[in-house]
């Protein structure tokens, strides 16, 4: 793993994500090395020869955070990296950024797979508005180990949601990415709804670089699902997603849950 510190002029970028005004990614690269990492396209904007997942650039900014434009806006921390990856333990870049946001009336969503976020509860509780978004797409830890080999276990993530919730910090369970017929959305909701304030759902979106890797894995490990995955990701048939979306929405309405569905159609393969 190549680790280096780089100097940046500013942490804040304008966002291209829906319903998000600004993003902060305190690191470039992500040591969690998820098999399906959507952020891997970022490698082309770096000078790294190492594969995505084999390097991390730790961003250091000498200036205080310019929070002027953030007032009344929405800010996502961790759109293309995990802001609580293992290097955060040593460098505390995310912690330092949050510290500087305390006095600003901005709505902050922190997206992570790591229990390290609980370290910063002292600051999180002082923010104007915050949601901590933990990604979980299965309770099967052997599946987790296959597709997210260096990310914290599901048990640790669940415990983190519980700890944050019990401390009054709003929690979101981000079911992402949903693997057809592997992710059991109802079971995940049923076992977490006592300490999750909101659910977000995102479908598996396979693009060029990692598409075949994920498909090969599914074909080998779940041969019964081969035809379904071919139908969705090779023949671009979206009917599975449309049907699943309807099921999720109906279930969430019946259970009176707060939820958002971020399904991408037409880009399910590439």
Rule CB under 6 A: which residues touch ligand SF4?
30, 32-34, 37, 39, 80-82, 113, 151
CB of 183 to ligand SF4, least distance (A): 15
Checking DSSP bridges between strand 55-61 and strand 27-28, what pairing results, if any? Answer: antiparallel
Q: 39 vs 101, which CB is nearer to ligand SF4? A: 39
DSSP per-residue codes, 62-100: SSPP--GGGTT-EEEE-SSS-TTSHHHHHH-HHHHHHHH
Q: Which of 166, 14, 160, 163 is nearest to 174 (CA)?
A: 160
202 alpha-carbon distance from chain centroid: 10
Helices marked H in the chain — which ranges? 86-91, 93-101, 121-124, 141-147, 154-166, 185-192, 208-221, 226-229, 239-254
DSSP class of residue 185 equals: H
Taking the least distance from each CB to ligand SF4, the nearer of 30 and 252 is 30
Helix (H) or strand (E) holding 7: strand 2-8
Least spacing, CB of residue 6 vs ligand SF4, in Å? 18
Q: Which is nearer to ligand SF4, 105 or 270 (CB)?
A: 270
Least Cβ distance, residue 30 to ligand SF4 (angstroms): 3
| Alpha carbons within 13 A on the beta-carbon side of 248 | 25
For 26, counting Cβ atoms within 10 Å of its Cβ (0-12 exposed, 13-18 middle, 19+ buried), the class is: buried
Q: How far is the CB of 202 from ligand SF4 (least distance, A)?
A: 11
Nearer to ligand SF4, 33 or 95 (CB): 33
Is the distance from CB of 202 to CB of 174 less than 8 angstroms?
A: yes
Q: How far is the CB of 132 from ligand SF4 (least distance, A)?
A: 14
How far apart are alpha carbons 216 and 208 in whole angstroms?
A: 13
| C-beta closer to ligand SF4: residue 93 or 252 | 93
Task: Please state the closest distance from residue 186 (CB atom) to ligand SF4, in A.
Answer: 24
For residues 113 and 131, which CB has a smaller minimum distance to ligand SF4 in the complex?
113
Q: How far is the CB of 29 from ligand SF4 (least distance, A)?
A: 8
Question: Quick one: 88 or 104, whose CB is closer to ligand SF4?
Answer: 88
């Amino acid at each position: 793993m190549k680790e280096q510190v780089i100097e940046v002029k500013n942490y804040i970028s304008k966002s291209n994500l829906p319903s998000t005004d600004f993003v902060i990614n305190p690191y470039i690269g992500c040591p969690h090395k998820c098999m399906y990492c959507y952020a891997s396209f970022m490698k082309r904007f770096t000078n790294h020869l190492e594969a995505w997942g084999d390097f991390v650039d730790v961003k250091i900014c000498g200036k205080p955070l310019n929070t002027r434009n953030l007032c009344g806006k929405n800010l996502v921390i961790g759109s293309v990296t995990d802001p609580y990856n293992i290097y955060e333990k040593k460098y505390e870049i995310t912690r330092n950024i949050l510290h500087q946001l305390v006095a600003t009336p901005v709505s902050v969503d922190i997206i992570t797979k790591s229990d390290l976020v609980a370290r910063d509860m002292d600051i999180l509780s002082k923010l104007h508005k915050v949601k901590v978004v933990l990604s979980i797409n299965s309770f099967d830890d052997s599946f987790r180990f296959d597709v997210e080999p260096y990310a914290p276990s599901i048990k640790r993530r669940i415990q983190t949601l519980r700890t944050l919730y019990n401390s009054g910090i709003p929690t979101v369970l981000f079911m992402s990415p949903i693997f057809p017929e592997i992710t059991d959305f109802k079971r995940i909701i049923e076992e977490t709804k006592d300490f999750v304030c909101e659910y977000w759902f995102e479908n598996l979106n396979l693009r060029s670089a990692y598409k075949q890797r994920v498909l090969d894995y599914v074909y080998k490990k779940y041969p019964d699902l081969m035809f379904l995955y071919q139908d969705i990701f090779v023949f671009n048939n979206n009917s599975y997603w449309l049907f699943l979306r309807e099921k999720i929405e109906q279930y969430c309405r019946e259970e009176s849950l707060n939820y958002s569905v971020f399904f991408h159609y037409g880009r399910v393969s590439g």
